[in-house]
Amino acid sequence: MTPERKQQWSWAFYDWANSAFATTVLVGMFPIIFNNYYAKGVDGSTATFYLGAFGNSLPSFIVMLMAPWLGVIADKRGIKKPLLAAFTAIGCAGTAGLMFVGEGQWGWAIALFAIAGIGFFGGLSFNDALLMNVARPEERDRVSALGYGLGYLGGGLLFVVNVTMVLKPEWFGIANAAEAAKWSFVSVAVWWAVFSLPMFFNVKEPPPKVDGAMGWSALWATVRQIKNHKPVYMFLLAYWLYIDAVGTVANMAVDFGKKLGFADSALIQALLIVQFVSFPAAIVFGRIGERYGAKRGLYLGISVYIGVTIWALAMQTEKDFYMMAAAVGLVQGGVQSLSRSYFTTLIPKESAGQFFGFYNMLGKFAAVLGPLVVGATAAITGNPRLAIFALVFFFIAGMVLLARVKPEPYAN
């Protein structure tokens, strides 16, 4: 393996490492154990408020505020890897700490979950920015897709083990499902830490090439750069719209299935279908981007999502739900990975940290509007199918704006 390929695989394995948190903790185990164990005795609606407001929204809001500013510091000082290591340590410590929280101790559980979330989301900008250091422009679609593909595979494999631990705790010598869930958090922390090591040992971060102002003055300078470079701000607007809908489909799918009366086992199976279909599909999308261009690959992925939202209007059975999960799995990783690699062609390499800070800030802000529209549509119409269909307008608007991005890239 050449030194260049070694760096690329090492970088991609960070997605394999941290995706375990996304699948097992963020989406899979924590919401369940929080309601059944950590917040036992707390009213259900109150527990949901605590989880949503303090466990999910607060860390996302904190990271949204920090990301662009820390991106400036990372670029000026050449410390993307040290900052990524710091956030990784925070995430692993918060995740492992959940092991020591007892029944009814919801406050400690929420605090550690929020800390782990800050570690997870806070590191994304620096990992994304390092893509520009490990891959040449013509390689970035493939390498970005490799990262997402490995992320879906690694996160899915550990999630299968963790689900088995909870369903059959006696197989692992564990007393009950609650203890098994807490041990699964420990396994995530260890997985995250160990598989991050190739990134920190093998990926080289060059010394900074940018001198000058730090802090808020540098941050506003980046804002002016974005404002004055039309392809960047047009892409960010497009990205904000379609990635909002992508995230809403992922985050609201379980609730959608529950509203249609599907069994919990069907919902878990659908989640696993998305994980394991997304692995090879993301790799294929990397090749599509490499051969036909990332923008065309994004058109393809967004078009499939438009079809999925229309299909939701007629969904009736669990089989339909599985097919929808497979369709989402075919394009979810591709849209995410090609968005990341396409953005690298529009920004200056020496300022990647701060530009990706804004990119990920929009990703966090995007988690607000889509769920709000879906929730409001469901409340007004009483029809969960129409609620999912409402996202079609996000996808269409995002595609229209994406079509208006005329590449005038910086030299990278």
Q: Per-residue pLDDT tens for 149-170?
A: 999 999 999 999 999 999 899 9
Q: Which residues contact 157 (CB under 8 A, 6 or more apart)?
A: none
Q: Domain end: 166, 199, 232, which one?
A: 199
Separation between Cα atoms, residue 388 and residue 311, nearest integer Å: 10
Asked if the model's pLDDT at residue 190 lies above 90, the reply is yes
State mean pLDDT over 53-69.
81
On whether both 170 and 135 belong to a single domain, the answer is yes
On whether both 239 and 185 belong to a single domain, the answer is no
Residues 23 and 159: beta-carbon distance below 8 Å: yes
DSSP-derived secondary structure letter, 207:
P
On whether both 30 and 78 belong to a single domain, the answer is yes
CATH number of domain containing 326:
1.20.1250.20
Burial class (CB in 10 A: 0-12, 13-18, 19+), 194: exposed
Specify the pLDDT at position 408: 63
Specify the pLDDT at position 411: 47
The per-residue DSSP string of 255-300 comes to HHHHHTT--HHHHHHHHHHHHHHHHHHHHHHHHHHHHH-HHHHHHH
On whether both 178 and 62 belong to a single domain, the answer is yes
pLDDT range class, residue 381, cuts 50, 70, 90: confident
Q: Domain end: 137, 165, 199, which one?
A: 199
Please check whether residue 195 lies inside any domain of the structure. yes
Specify the pLDDT at position 70: 86
Please give the tally of structural domains in the chain: 2
Asked if the model's pLDDT at residue 410 lies above 70, the reply is no
On whether both 192 and 230 belong to a single domain, the answer is no
Please check whether residue 219 lies inside any domain of the structure. no
As given in the structure block, the two tokens for residue 308 are 């999925």
| Least-confidence region, from 115-129, 156-170, 247-261, 344-358 | 247-261
Q: How many CB atoms lie within 10 A of CB 280?
A: 15
Q: Per-residue pLDDT tens for 267-303?
A: 788 888 988 999 999 999 999 999 999 999 999 999 9
Nearest to 253 by CA among 346, 350, 321: 321
More reliable by pLDDT, 238 or 269: 238
Q: What's CA 324's distance to the chain center, in Å? A: 20
Separation between Cα atoms, residue 72 and residue 165, nearest integer Å: 42
Please check whether residue 204 lies inside any domain of the structure. no
Asked if the model's pLDDT at residue 215 lies above 70, the reply is no
On whether both 194 and 233 belong to a single domain, the answer is no
Domain region containing 39? 1-199
How distant, in Å, are the alpha carbons of 88, 156, 182, 202 from that of 95? Answer: 11, 18, 9, 25
Note the pTM of the prediction, 2 decimals. Answer: 0.86
At residue 405, φ and ψ (nearest 5 deg) are: -80, 110
Residues 168 and 74: beta-carbon distance below 8 Å: no
